[in-house]
Amino acid sequence: MSSPACKVTDIPSLIPQRPPILMVDGYLFEDELHCKSELTIAADNMFLGEDGYVAEEGLLEHVAQTSAAHIGFLRKQAGENVTLGYIGDIKKAVFDNRMPKVGDTLHTCLTVVSQVGGITMVSAETSVNEHVILTCRMKLASDN
């Protein structure tokens, strides 16, 4: 069993995504059903729009990769390899009209709602400066 509140910054050790679409730079294991993550928006972030703000799809990818990091962390703890994962569906996503820009740090709290086989359902809340900018539910499918 993992010890509580284990922080990982070597994110590529937990997830299969690589630059230019790496959208998590810190992961904090809380327990098997809960984790946190963060991402500071760099000037070369591929989801930055011409208006200087991160596109909504970038926030969704950040949540998906937070889920992937949690799944990867648990797999590594069990002595298994990190595998590919995919978004299966997204439900009830609500975005604030204040989107993040370069230098802002996203903070995400993620809860595993259910996990059956390779299908994981999560709910997530993403904030910047303690202001919630996204809530959503997401289903992810992982290769075995």
Residues that bind other proteins (CB under 8 A): 16-22, 46-50, 55-58, 60-61, 64, 84, 86-95, 97, 99, 136
Shortest reach from residue 31's CB to other proteins, in Å = 28
Closest approach of other proteins to the CB of residue 26, in Å = 18
For other proteins, which is the closer residue by CB, 31 or 57?
57
Q: Report the alpha-carbon distance of residue 105 to residue 125 in Å, rounded.
A: 14
- DSSP secondary structure code for residue 44 in this structure: T
CB closer to other proteins out of 4 and 49: 49
Query: Which amino acid type is present at position 23?
Result: M
Nearest approach, Cβ of residue 38 and other proteins (Å): 19
Which DSSP category does 3 fall into? P
Q: For residues 136 and 117, what is the distance between their CA atoms, to the nearest angstrom?
A: 22
> Given the complex with other proteins, which of 8 and 64 has the nearer CB atom?
64
Per-residue CA distances from 31 to 3, 34, 41, 48, 114 (Å): 8, 5, 27, 32, 14
Minimum CB separation of residue 56 from other proteins in Å reads: 4
